[in-house]
Amino acid sequence: MKPDTLLYSILIPAYNEAKNLPPTLEQLAVALRREGIPFEFLVVNDNSTDETPQVLESLAAVYPELRAVTNPPPGGLGRAIRCGLKHFKGDVVAVVMADSSDSPEDVVACYRKIVEGYDCVFGSRFRKGSKVSQYPPVKLVFNRIVNLAMRVLFFTRFNDLTNAFKVYRRHVIESISPLHAAHFNITIEMSLSCLIRRYKIAEIPISWSGRTWGQSNLRLREMGRRYLCTLLMIWFERMLILDDLLLETRPGPENRE
């Protein structure tokens, strides 16, 4: 399969995103079609109480690339992403927010990095060259503390592991499954699971902006506890599989001097 024929699944979890979905899909479709990238939209309706189901039905008539699935109760971002990861058809999958906070140009750039040979691409809002607007100050401080803790615990240079916007090859998703996080902590569960398995990962600076419509569903106190539990779970998993990882990277008898 030629690199540029890799099917790109754009996984979009959606909870009460009726106003955000039309412009988000339009912007993504324009960018992906312009670059000639084969793609599908997979929108996961996460128990929305607004007109999201009706909007998705109307959008399906506009975008033949669109499929919609429903995440069964109980809801939650993590559960919605896990649901989508069971249904995507692509060779590559990107987790993209429904609120247009992620730039379509960055979605394209991540695909190009995968084509270069990377297994995963992490979008960073804090690398040189990134552009961030409308980031609530309290959440920014929380973000930096959590990311600093992960950099220390996992000896990594990546500085925005909490960002949901990341791209993975299919075999990576299969390797790190099953995932367990039910809420926003799935972002670090996926990131750290890739790190401890030593996949080839690229990190690129991205453009990120706050929500256009609606309110964020991230509650800092709840997420602090969930992040901590996920961090400890992956840290202990790293200890458990470390010997196997060392054996995989250690030269065999025929390669030893």
Any idea which residue has 């799935």 for tokens? 186
Say yes or no to pLDDT of 166 above 70: yes
> H or E segment at 171?
helix 170-176
Q: What is the mean pLDDT of residues 146-171?
A: 96
107 pLDDT above the threshold of 90: yes
Per-residue model confidence (pLDDT) at position 134: 86
Whether residue 254 has pLDDT greater than 90: no
> What pLDDT band is residue 251 in, cutting at 50, 70 and 90?
very low
Element (H, E) at 144: helix 137-154
pLDDT band with cut points at 50, 70 and 90 for residue 247: low
CA 53 to each of CA 78, 165, 257: distance values in angstroms, whole numbers, following the listed order: 20, 23, 63
Is the pLDDT confidence value at 212 over 60? no
Query: Who has greater pLDDT, 244 or 151?
Result: 151
pLDDT for 183: 95
The secondary structure of 69-114 as a DSSP string is: EEPPSS--HHHHHHHHHTT--SSEEEE--TTS-B-HHHHHHHHHHH
> Strands 207-209 and 166-169, how do they pair?
unpaired
Q: How many CA atoms lie within 13 A of 171 on its CB side?
A: 6
What's the rounded Cα separation, in Å, for the pair 255 and 150?
34
CATH class of the domain comprising 3-250: alpha beta
pLDDT in tens, 173-186: 999 999 999 999 99
Q: For residue 216, give the 3-state DSSP assignment.
A: coil
Best CA proximity match to 174, nearest among 160, 194, 192: 194
Q: Decide if pLDDT at 244 tops 90.
A: no
Q: Which pLDDT does position 246 carry in this prediction?
A: 55
Q: What integer pLDDT is reported at residue 234 of this predicted model?
A: 96
Mean pLDDT, the chain, as a whole number?
Answer: 91
**pLDDT over 70 at 129, yes or no:** yes
Where residue 197 falls among pLDDT bands split at 50, 70, 90?
Answer: very high
Q: Which two tokens stand for residue 9?
A: 């699944």
For residue 47 the two structure tokens come to: 């128990």
- Higher pLDDT: 256 or 139? It is 139
Domain ranges for the chain: 3-250
Is the pLDDT at 136 greater than 50, yes or no?
A: yes
pLDDT digits (tens, 9 = 90+) for 11-25: 999 999 999 999 999
- Torsion-angle region of 198 (φ positive above 0: left; ψ -120 to 50: alpha; else: beta): left
Q: In this predicted model, what pLDDT tens digit does every residue of 61-104 receive, in sequence order?
A: 999 999 999 999 999 999 999 999 999 999 999 999 999 999 99
Q: For the whole model, what pTM was predicted?
A: 0.90
- pLDDT exceeds 90 at position 222: no
pLDDT at 243 over 80: no
